[in-house]
């Protein structure tokens, strides 16, 4: 029985930290319902229903979740809209 040795090449992509962007983070609270959070994520952050439900579950059990990444300009309006809906949202790293 002979063994075959194969060389595997892997392409690694790295992001420049200065251009990698920021995160839109939503925190858990005892006020908003799952349905409200899901609806806001679909309407404001353009999540599909499954992604929004998964994010809402993570927010509930972990206390917070990154729901979108991008530049400050891309995230600022979404953050404000989420806060206007009563959610606790911030832009951070």
- Domain 22-92 in this protein, CATH class: alpha beta
44-84: pLDDT as tens digits: 999 999 999 999 999 999 999 999 999 999 999 999 999 99
Break the chain into its structural domains and give their ranges.
22-92
Q: Which tokens in the block code for residue 11?
A: 């392409």
For residue 59, is it left (φ>0), alpha (ψ between -120 and 50) or beta? alpha
3-43: pLDDT as tens digits: 555 555 555 444 444 445 899 999 999 999 999 999 999 99
Residue 24 has what DSSP assignment? E
């Amino acid at each position: 029985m002979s063994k075959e040795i194969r060389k595997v090449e892997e392409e690694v992509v790295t992001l420049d930290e200065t251009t990698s962007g920021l995160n839109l983070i939503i925190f858990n609270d005892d006020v908003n319902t799952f349905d409200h959070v899901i609806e806001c994520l679909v309407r404001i952050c353009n999540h599909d229903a499954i992604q929004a439900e998964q994010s809402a579950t993570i927010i509930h059990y972990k206390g917070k979740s990154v729901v979108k990444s991008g530049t400050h300009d891309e995230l600022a309006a979404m953050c404000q809209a989420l806060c206007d809906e009563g959610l606790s949202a911030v832009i951070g790293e």
